[in-house]
Structure 1
Amino acid sequence: MDPDSIRTGERVPHGGESERDLLDFSANTNPRTPEGVGDVYTAALEESRRYPDDDYSEFRAAAGEFVGCEPERVIPTAGGLAAIRLAMECVLEPGDEALVPYPSFGEYAREVRLQGATPRFVRYDDLFEIGSTVLEPCALAVVCTPNNPTGDAVDPDALESFAARCGDAGTTLLVDEAFLGFTDRSSAAELDREHVVVARSLTKLFGLPGLRAGFAVATGERRDALATARRAWSLGTPAASVGAHCLRRDEFVRETRARVAGERERMRDALEDEFDVHESDAPFLLCDVGDRDVSRVIDDARAAGVAVRDATTFRTLDSHVRVAVKDRPANDRLLAALGVRSHDDVDPETES
């Protein structure tokens, strides 16, 4: 990390509501957690009287099974963002350039700058058309799938083709799959290319954002570099134990994906009565509020007990909010707070 860049760096805004009385739709986390988490955590807390086993063999085995790779390729980290920082620390040097998508997760540009490198912004949906002329000067390219805050998941063939072009150009490709677990799409870990690094977050899918558990996946010399640079005891014992437990809850994952897909479409149908809603493969929806004042929309929702994400903090978005997809009772409270009527509540006879 570059000391000069740290001195001029800034924090970036995120979702997540500190006021506990509000129903939080500003953070895209599962409202449910797998059964047995409490028991696993309690047992791990007792084991925390000693240092963790820095090999994390159980966690790496579970993570490898989850994304379809060998356990040896898994590098445990304290959340997906820690995996992103680790990858950038190993790739970027002061003066480098990195391709960063927009609108997308604000931490990419911040982490690039903290390394003393310069973000080169490209629209997230134009990224896959980029050729060698743009790629060759860049040490790193970042892809977010599904993209945050739009929710678009990248077509696997397009991602594989882009990865090949990055390899030809000598550009490391960092694929952030923080929300991919909410879909049934394959991980880029299956590409198994030395210039590709995958970052995964556990805590969104399994409803435990405060636990801070995630991992990176890499191969060959890139994997060796990440493993060497990884901080010792990078996961606490409770995070490693609970993470391994959650990663093996296949039925929970299937149920979550089905619920999110169904509720997302139901919410989108209702929200489109008032807003322009972006199609999404993620557990959230991006809404263009049009001529309405974004602050007023957010304040009115808060007055009704619901927090939504101010999406104007994302690059180029100036009239947007983002809302998470949770369970049906909570989602109905969100719709009511935004002044939207669920189509489930509409009486066909009164609408005819």
Structure 2
Amino acid sequence: MQDADGVVAEDDIWHGGDLATARALFPEAPEPWVDLSTGINPIPYPLPALPLSLWTRLPGADDEAALIAAAREAYRVPAHADIVAAPGTQILIELLPRLAPAGPVTILGPTYAEHGHAWRKAGYAVSETATPAEAAATIVVVNPNNPDGRVLSLAEITSLAAHCAARAGLLVIDEAFADFTPEASIVPGLPDGTIVLRSFGKTYGLAGLRLGFAIGAPEPMARLKAALGPWSVAGPALHVGAQALSDADWLAGTGRERAQDAARLDALLAPHGRVIGGTTLFRLLETPKAAALFARLGRHGIYVRRFQNAPDRLRFGLPGDELSWSRLHAALSVAVP
């Protein structure tokens, strides 16, 4: 649990989207809250009408096959690789340590904290580094990175894969935010010994659907599928995911629109510090007044993401409508002491 100054317990992992905490910190803030603390598309994919049967029967093999076919096409999965659907990428992060050899793990960071947490829970010695020069045999990379948007080139990823393969290790690439930068994805040329994670809910604005994918060689993918067990993805998620992943026009259009929103947000934040990175769905601001700015926004009913280990940084998601943009603009117009 965090306090208004962002102080958290040492073993606590701070996530966005926790409006219960926001309300506890700022009980006098106006409702409804403008939640900018996540990297989720604020304008979701339009949900299709769902047949009642999707709720009353177990998920079918044909429904899962349709989702997998759509995901293979959307993510450009090569013929030599398999893809596994799961109820969100978080469960895949928890299961990945079962696929790796014993030994230390290097995480290229700072990055999404659940990766390190999952490997430590599984008994691995984990180190975080900004450069992989002395990396272990098993490496975890988020690409594009959360929260700073750093992108490793395909050549750099291929080099890391060769490093891991030469040591009989494993390379994990979390591409949760790669949908709007497909040129950054390693999936079409997937190297040996590499597993890629893809998230559905962030880009499509449907995080509550809980849908994610792992892509890799057939043997580790079979082990993941066995660990997940039957009917791991709900029928409605199979149906919606298959339709959305097949809708290339929607993805292209929303990508252009969210890129415009990201540029608009950069301009709004520029007077308050330095925008040091991000992706199409979030921006990272560095300012010595981060704590005061976080508190001021909170009092105005606007929740942004703070970081335990970077008290001078705030991450801003995209407002989803003009009222939210206006509220953010008004809150930022008040001087920070």
Whether TM-score is above 0.5 comes out as yes
Corresponding letter in the other structure for 1:12? I
Change over 3 Å in CA distance of 1:110–1:38 after alignment to 2: same
Map of 1:89 onto structure 2: 98
Q: Is the 8 A contact 2:108 2:129 kept in 1?
A: yes
Q: Is the 8 A contact 1:59 1:243 kept in 2?
A: yes
Q: Is the 8 A contact 2:145 2:151 kept in 1?
A: yes
* Long gaps (5+) in structure 1: 1-8, 342-352
Q: Is the 8 A contact 1:77 1:213 kept in 2?
A: yes
* Structure 1 residue 46: Cα displacement: 2.4
Out of 300, 303, 323, the residue aligned to residue 316 of structure 2 is 323
Question: Residue by residue, what CA displacement relative to the aligned partner does 1:94-124 show, whole Å, maximum 9, x if unpaired?
Answer: xx3111122110101110111111211111x
Does 2:115 align with 1:117?
A: no
RMSD between superposed Cα atoms in Å: 2.3
Q: Is the 8 A contact 1:152 1:282 kept in 2?
A: no
Q: Map 1:210-225 to 2 at 5 A.
A: 210-225=208-223
* Long gaps (5+) in structure 2: 1-9, 21-30
Change over 3 Å in CA distance of 1:332–1:249 after alignment to 2: farther
TM-score, length basis structure 1 = 0.82
Equivalent residue of 2:57, what SS? coil
Q: Is the 8 A contact 1:305 1:337 kept in 2?
A: no
How many residue pairs end up in the alignment? 313
Map of 1:266 onto structure 2: 264
Q: Is the 8 A contact 2:78 2:190 kept in 1?
A: no
Aligned counterparts of 2:334 and 2:281: Cα–Cα separation in 1: 19
Q: Is the 8 A contact 1:152 1:279 kept in 2?
A: yes
Aligned counterparts of 2:233 and 2:66: Cα–Cα separation in 1: 12
Map of 2:85 onto structure 1: 76
Out of 323, 330, 333, the residue aligned to residue 339 of structure 1 is 333
Map of 2:35 onto structure 1: 24
Map of 1:297 onto structure 2: 293
Between stretches 47-56 and 246-255, larger displacement belongs to 47-56
Corresponding letter in the other structure for 2:223? A
Q: Is the 8 A contact 1:68 1:187 kept in 2?
A: no
Aligned counterparts of 2:121 and 2:274: Cα–Cα separation in 1: 35
Aligned counterparts of 2:59 and 2:272: Cα–Cα separation in 1: 51
* Structure 1 residue 340: Cα displacement: 7.9
Equivalent residue of 2:99, what SS? helix
Aligned counterparts of 1:84 and 1:118: Cα–Cα separation in 2: 16
Aligned counterparts of 2:267 and 2:325: Cα–Cα separation in 1: 13
Question: Residue by residue, what CA displacement relative to the aligned partner does 1:119-173 show, whole Å, maximum 9, x if unpaired?
Answer: 11111xx23xx2xxx34xx342111011111112222222222222222232201
Equivalent residue of 1:180, what SS? coil
* Structure 1 residue 185: Cα displacement: 2.2
Corresponding letter in the other structure for 1:170? A
Map of 2:142 onto structure 1: 144
Corresponding letter in the other structure for 1:32? I
Q: Is the 8 A contact 1:173 1:196 kept in 2?
A: yes
Aligned counterparts of 2:241 and 2:181: Cα–Cα separation in 1: 19
Aligned counterparts of 1:189 and 1:340: Cα–Cα separation in 2: 45
The percent identity for this pair of structures is 26
Aligned counterparts of 2:254 and 2:267: Cα–Cα separation in 1: 20
Map of 2:198 onto structure 1: 200
Q: Map 1:92-111 to 2 at 5 A.
A: 93=102, 96-111=103-118
Runs of 4+ in 1 over 6 A off after TM superposition: none
Q: Is the 8 A contact 1:182 1:283 kept in 2?
A: no
Map of 2:26 onto structure 1: none
Aligned counterparts of 1:139 and 1:158: Cα–Cα separation in 2: 16
Equivalent residue of 1:51, what SS? coil
Map of 1:242 onto structure 2: 240
Aligned counterparts of 1:183 and 1:340: Cα–Cα separation in 2: 35
Change over 3 Å in CA distance of 1:196–1:305 after alignment to 2: same
Does 2:188 align with 1:180?
A: no
Map of 2:53 onto structure 1: 46
Map of 1:285 onto structure 2: 283
Equivalent residue of 1:85, what SS? helix
